[in-house]
Chain A
Amino acid sequence: MLSRRRTVTGLQQEYSDALRDYLVRPNEQALRRAYSTGRSTLSNGAGVLGIAALHHQAMKDVIPDLSAEIEEALLIKRAEEVFIESLMPFEMSHRAFREAIAVLRRMNERIEEEAKRIAHALHEEAGGLLASTNLALEELARDLSPKGTERLSLVRRLLDQMDEQLRHLAHEIRPTVLDDLGLVPALEFLADGLSKRSGLAVAVEGSTGGRLPSAVETTLYRNVQEALNNVTRHAMARRVKVAVTREPHAVRCSVRDDGVGFNVSEVIETRGERGLGHIGMRERLDAVKGTLLITSAPNQGTELLMYIPLEG
């Protein structure tokens, strides 16, 4: 009775039968069938609108035969009981996903905290040890022959490279400049690095008018980082402008490039919203009640506009 593949007409039949049965004589078996129809509708992807359509059609099929025998108020009450049963799997699924999202958000926050800790350890502790090592070598160099000093300087150059690598790595994991100086300096640092690596001209302008909540700064930083990566990978752009604007109760941040752009509605139609590849950005923004607006057209570049309301 729980075969996974049932056609819409099969499901309609099952639901209409269950409804008719229950309206005439309320019984648990009919409710069980309604629940089963809801479960099948959920797994075959027809969704909550699918079950609403089944219910509506069933009402049209069944009610005319019964309205002469059974009082209208009773029919309505019983029909609601059947409908609720068919919706329960959706309610369950909805709540389960809401919980899953909350869990993922907490995980994300923990990862960001962990990244802060690791970046700090790399930057301060490992970097500090390297600095001490360098001082010790400098002292050692004084006692060495010219030949020895030369060989030691090679070692020191390698240590310098290691220091550079550590700093780079620490910055990739979590830019300390974001924690220490705030969003705009961190974005300028990011833009600078990207310009040097890729030749893309990245301009950062605007101000946050003071520090923003840490979650908001992190969200905007990570999203701009992802947006700039997208630009270098897909847009074939020469210039990008990142603009930050503070409003009385919100912050706005846009990333606009002069690249090839794309047809937004076409991409959404053929690949769904997923096709835009902005799931991660939307998810981060959702967590701080922010919104994302994407504007683009072929040969007219792309603009991402992020808007985050601020409390108080």
Chain B
Amino acid sequence: MAWPSCQILWDFNMNVRIIPVLSLLDDALVKTLKFSAAKYIGDPINTIRIFNEQEVDEVCILGIRTTLRNKPPDYKLIEAMATECFMPLSYGGGINSLETAKKIFQCGVEKIILGTYAIQNPSFISQCSLQYGSQAVVVAIDVRKSLFNQYAVMSHSGTVNTRLHPLKWAREAEAAGAGEILLTSINREGTWDGFDTVLVKEVSAGVSVPVIAHGGAGMPQHISEVIKSGASAVAVGSMFLYQRKGLGVLVNFPKQKIEEAIASI
């Protein structure tokens, strides 16, 4: 490969963000498997302190099942978490008005993540992006793959099939002003089986905004694989929260192993 492309690929690979994902169910930190079976992990503030000490690139907090249960975001908890966070922080879950968005930013969060409500009202993406800039607006796309290998965007914590195609919706969200796409494979979420690289490749090649791949990380090689598929950032849950698959909770960030895996791309 000619030198300039090598340089650009190097610039790209070295800049991929690795993002621990923390799921909140009320005031508890939990971890789900394929969006169900929420298992208790621990105290969210302590966990965020550990990731802060480990100097992770960014943290993503998801208030899960908020829209489904019609719950507002827990502003107090989000603010307490943001105070411990000296790295970028995004929050998603239950943001359904400019007023909620404003309150989330006031908690000290840099980016809001929009899900179900954005599917119902795509113009809400534009409103947020006009007000706060597209760099502050992430659109979460939760994807389920059917038995016939068809991809569909799901809403309401994976319970409602919107019949939207992931790439089509990603392009629409980008056009509306989304600055990033958080692309989650529900089938892989919490499984440790590796990312759905086919899905990531299709979506990241089809939009010009960064795509954060989520769902399936189980080892550093999975992370480097999904970066090769075009992900600009990689979101990781279980692997950073448990010792190993099937073992107990251990908040960890194997920075060196991930860097080695990325460097070997």
Q: Do A and B come from one complex?
A: no
Interface residues of A (CB under 8 A from B): none
